[in-house]
Amino acid sequence: MPLAPPRLLPSGDSAITVEFSKTIDDTANQRVLALDRALTEAPVEGITETVPTYRSLLVHYDPGRVDFDALGRALLVRAQVPASVATQPRRWRVPVAYGGENGIDLEDVAKARGITPDEIVARHTAADYRVAMIGFTPGWSYLSGLAPSLHMPRRQNPRLLTPAG
């Protein structure tokens, strides 16, 4: 069964956004990463850069080498490649400190979820997280895989300063 085709959205005069979903979900992200891998392994003439996000792939191109319609057709064909797990994923161990000055929201999260701070830590450390995309700040990774029982809404009044670390 063919996969649902992504939406192709013009992004200025030299980029196309290939949108797989209107919401963030792992299936869309896996398709984004699969298309990005496919374009890296077998480049399409005229593509100059790709930028994967949670739910779309921004494809920069040289309009002197390929036009929007031709590139769009090529991207739609490539987007039908099933999302498969990349070769052996790299694993990273990330040290985490909880509570006190290193985790000033731990008590609030535990209270909001109706469980103890120790249970928050246990659930948080039990999961394997996947890098879904890299942010605009080099090395700033956005992860997926947080247990739904730990999801929290954004703060109504964000902190103006968050210490490094």
How long, in residues, is the chain?
Answer: 165
Homologous superfamily in CATH for domain 100-150: Cyclophilin-like (2.40.100.10)
Are the C-beta atoms of residues 65 and 46 closer than 8 Å to each other?
yes
Asked if pLDDT for residue 93 goes beyond 80, the answer is: yes
Cα angle 24, 27, 32 (rounded to 5 degrees) comes to 80
Judge: domain 7-78, CATH 3.40.190.10: no
Q: What would the two tokens of residue 16 be? A: 């196309």
Fill in the amino acid letter for 145.
G
User: Does 71 score more than 60 pLDDT?
Assistant: yes
pTM of the prediction? 0.75
Mean pLDDT of 115-133: 92
DSSP count for the chain of H helices, then E strands = 4, 6
Residue 147: the pLDDT is 92
Q: pLDDT, tens digit, for every residue of 130-145?
A: 888 887 777 778 888 8
pLDDT at 60 over 90: yes
Summarize the confidence of residues 51-80 as an average pLDDT: 96
Where are the chain's structural domains? 7-78, 100-150
